[in-house]
Amino acid sequence: MNPSNWRTYLVTQASLSDGRSTSEIVRAAIDGGVDAVQLREKETSARSRYELGLELRELTADAGVDLIVNDRVDIAQAIDADGVHVGQSDLPVGVARDLLGPDAVVGCSTSTVAEAREAEREGADYLGVGAVYGTSSKDVADDEDGIGPERIEAIADAVSIPIVGIGGITADNAAPVAEAGAAGVAVISEITAASDPAAATAALAETVETSKGVADGGRGA
């Protein structure tokens, strides 16, 4: 349960799954080597998210994959998730930490250096930074053109906790995000909408791992 080791992070959204269940997508992503899964599904009821969360908890626990819940600290507690991810308009990081305890993973969405530093001060374990590229998701960023890998680098230089880039990321454009200092990348449609989610996950993981190797080699030179 170390966000520094997350290379691929799936954020669930059933509406993009082409009729497949979220559990089916998560199972395939696990087969492809996903490191963390975030239960999102904001358009569903709390009861539905709870019941889905129980299914995902079983799948991820068996595979040794971290399970994070978007926004809802109560659901995270109820399904014994590994942690919660909060946005700028959700419960503060410190409150989530107090409710979940010291062992839980608490992540926070940020898009600026100031937000990132504040989240770190409040005790966040990792940051979801974006939207890196343009995205149609209402959950990430307020800049339709994206903040770009340059902002990832600026935030990585400003904080000491791991960063996960999110927003419009694909296997084709993930490399600059990892090279800029992100530990990994979080995606929705790149895996969920793929005809072969397992293969899409594996391709994304390979791109990130290779790019991080290049970046680490450059920094060590």
How do residues 51-98 score in pLDDT, each as one tens digit? 999 999 999 999 999 999 999 999 999 999 999 999 999 999 999 999
Is 15 part of any known ligand binding site?
Answer: no
pLDDT at 145: 82
Start-to-end C-alpha separation, the chain: 30
pLDDT confidence of residue 218: 57
Class of domain 3-214: alpha beta
Q: Is 138 a catalytic residue?
A: yes
pTM attached to this predicted model: 0.94
pLDDT at 141: 46
For the chain, the structural domain boundaries read: 3-214
Q: Write down the catalytic residue from 7, 72, 109, 212.
A: 109
Tell whether 130 is in a known binding site. no
pLDDT for residue 142: 47
pLDDT in the model for residue 138: 47
The residue from 27, 40, 97, 151 that is catalytic is 40
Closest by Cα among 16, 64, 15, 72 to 36: 64
Active-site residue, selected from the candidate residues 45, 47, 89, 138: 138
User: 142 a known binding residue?
Assistant: no
168 is known to lie in a ligand binding site: yes
**Torsion region of 84: left, alpha or beta (phi above 0 gives left; psi -120 to 50 gives alpha):** beta
**How many Å apart are CA 90 and CA 8, to the nearest integer?**
24
User: Is 134 annotated for ligand binding?
Assistant: no
Low-confidence residues of the chain: pLDDT under 50: 138, 141-142, 219-221
212 is in an annotated binding site: no
Residue 8 has, within 13 A of its CA and on its CB side, a CA count of 32
